[in-house]
Chain A
Amino acid sequence: MTIRDTAPVASGEARTKTRARRAPDAAPRIGALGVFAVLYLAFIYAPVLFIPLFSFNDSTYIAFPLSGFTTEWYVTMSRSDGLVGALTNSIKVATPAAVVSTLLGTLAAKAVTRYRMPGMEAVVSFIMSPLVVPAIIVGVALLIIVNAIGIELSLFTVFLAHLPPCTAFAMWIMISRLEGFDAAIEEASRDLGEGPWMTFWRVTFPLIVPGVVASLLLTFTISFDEYVLASFLGGSEPTLPIYIYSQLRFPWQLPNVLALATILLFASFALVYIAMRFRNRGVQFKTTTGV
């Protein structure tokens, strides 16, 4: 067929041409931009890099010069009941928060992108509002409500408090995912004899899986890191960020905290990196679904 024979050649040519044209005048700009980028990254990440550095330093004082290499802090950290307990608490909150908010976010995104409804924009703004309302205000408000109803503060109330911001993020991710593919694909499935649920299972879900994974990882990280809401609604069971903050009062605990922070830092990086990889895979999908 003639299109297939000629099209790739033509577009290939066009691409090399634009690249060749752009290269000479782009070079000096990359220089200035490069310097800026390096400074920017250094400003943001250099302080963070002190954490792993001092976590291996053989001294309770956080100061130069470094006195020697040790993994002792990692050992004491893992033996500290408080730390391990707080880590467990955080996982207990973040796991269900990620699952439930991703589920809610996916359903909300499906409704927003696939059905015509009056007042849709108002609903979307409402679900997104936790991203712009300061957490401290939400925290106080929730605390008042929880007290008024008479629910005891626990990890469960923290989980409830984490749902709105996590759901907002989940919906945001899933909307961009669902908008990425033609609604006619779902209609085609209905047309070919599958009801709404089988259509979701056979067509929609496989196409949004990357978004679901990205959403699970991001919402988990958000809940896991969250301090303000957890401190208002946490009761006697501290989550990890709260425990770490409380330990900063005791100088001798600091290296243990640094050791834990190092592990969390790399774990978070890994999660976000994986999440972003999945999101980008979505972008590739988008280009293949069009005509």
Chain B
Amino acid sequence: MNANAFIAIDDVSKDFGTVRAVDRVAFGIARGEFFSLLGPSGCGKTTLLRMLAGFEFPTEGEIYIDGQAMASEPPENRPVNMVFQSYAIFPHLTVRKNIGYSLRRDRLSRVEFDRKVGRMLELIKLPGYEERKSHELSGGERQRVALARALIRRPKVLLLDEPLGALDKQLREQMQLELRDLQREVGITFVFVTHDQEEALTMSDRIAVMSKGRYLQIDTPTQLYEAPRSREVAAFIGSMNFFDARVEEVADGHARVAAGPLGHLRAATRAKRFSVGETVLAAVRPEKITISSRPPAPSDASGGTNFVKGVLDATAYLGDRSHHYIRLPGVDKPVAVSAQNLNPAEFDVESRKRDVWLNWSSEAVVLLRAT
């Protein structure tokens, strides 16, 4: 299907004994793309990455990199380099020799070697670290050295297995931006593994959301967030309110659905086709719902807006925003609403059991096929 993609993963499966770690995965990655594999623990991200690197071989299927079949290529012959989760800095070598490890066969003069290593050290902003050893580096510095070591020979593809997992939050956010800038600067295709959805959204051109050895959806961060194609993706990326519904009417890009006790909802269909009578899920992000203590004026109730009345069940104050949980008549799970605290918070712990009105636009609703 994607024979001319830069990296083509062609119906690849991997079994460990009776465990199927990767299950008939097929997709392509474009040249120069920052591509992320995102999914919960054990879904096969590392296994897929290690097959790209050559540390594992597919049980079935084939991987092509830049048009070349990789089936019989050991790791040392592949045009890819990897940044390991543990960084795998050689503990007996200095930073200089770690970064220049792959230059042995180039037989460079000492001056030329030092110049190349020096350039990498500048790129990772650690000049002057040549003679340090692994145990004299902080976690963030090790991560950078591992990056420089993998980039020095300009591989066609850089593989990164949760490279930021071991860093504290602040450093991680800083490194996310640096890594993104670096990727643009060197123009190398990055395949990045993470189980942190925010990280994937921040950094990637495209993301493959994986689950149980398969991928559920491959899309840009915005599309994944705004237009997830299944309940699993919608629930894994960010949080989502789901309502069972049935399609009543479809017309010019919008649908009217009956959502049981909630009454009728209007939803944008986004180029998906639904037929009247079909059972669907209406999904709405918490931050796309507006909460109000006053009933809507009759003039608001027209057009594409959905209104629902409920009872405030709980409120969590997070500083910049608050999370409210609202019980709706006939709906089991309270609806989550996330509101920016632009003014001093209107609802607080005291507001429990108050009547509130929720509203959201028809564009905020994602209709998903019930499965």
Contact = CB atoms under 8 A, between A and B. Distances in A.
Contact of B86 (A3, A182, A198, A288): A182
A177 to B, nearest CB: 13
Contacts of B55: 187, 190
A191 B80 CA distance: 8
A164 to B, nearest CB: 32
Q: Which of A202, A206, A288, A291 has the most CB of B within 10 A?
A: A291
Contacts of A222: none
Given A191-B53, A192-B149, A185 B171 contact: no
Nearest to B138: A4
A208 B105 CA distance: 24
A203 interface: yes
A35 interface: no
A185 B55 CA distance: 13
Contact of B90 (A190, A198, A203, A290): A203
Interface string B116-134: 0000000000000000011
Contacts of A203: 90, 92
A194 interface: yes
B88 interface: yes
Contact of A188 (B54, B90, B135, B140): B90
A58 to B, nearest CB: 54
B204 to A, nearest CB: 23
A184 B149 CA distance: 14
B92 A207 contact: yes
Contacts of A192: 76, 81, 101-102, 149-150
A63 B234 CA distance: 91
B153 A193 contact: yes
A200 interface: no
B153 A289 contact: no
A2 interface: yes
Contacts of B84: 184, 187-188
A21 B352 CA distance: 49
Nearest to B101: A192
B75 interface: yes
Nearest to A185: B88
A207 to B, nearest CB: 6
A193 B81 CA distance: 9
B134 A195 contact: no
Contact of B139 (A3, A194, A285): A3
A3 B138 contact: yes
B91 interface: yes
A184 B76 contact: no
Interface string B75-108: 1100011101111101110000000011011000
B170 interface: yes
A149 interface: no
B141 interface: yes
Contacts of A185: 88, 90-91
A189 B82 CA distance: 10
Contacts of A169: none
A11 to B, nearest CB: 14
Given A181-B91, A185-B91, A194 B76 contact: yes
B75 A190 contact: yes
A151 to B, nearest CB: 43
B90 A191 contact: no
Interface of A: 1-4, 181-182, 184-185, 187-195, 198, 202-203, 206-207, 285, 287-291
Given A187-B75, A189-B101, A193-B105, 8 more contacts: A3-B138, A3-B168, A3-B171, A182-B86, A188-B149, A190-B54, A190-B76, A194-B102
18 contacts: A1-B141, A2-B168, A3-B138, A184-B84, A184-B85, A184-B86, A185-B91, A187-B82, A187-B88, A189-B101, A190-B55, A192-B150, A193-B76, A193-B105, A193-B153, A195-B74, A195-B76, A291-B142
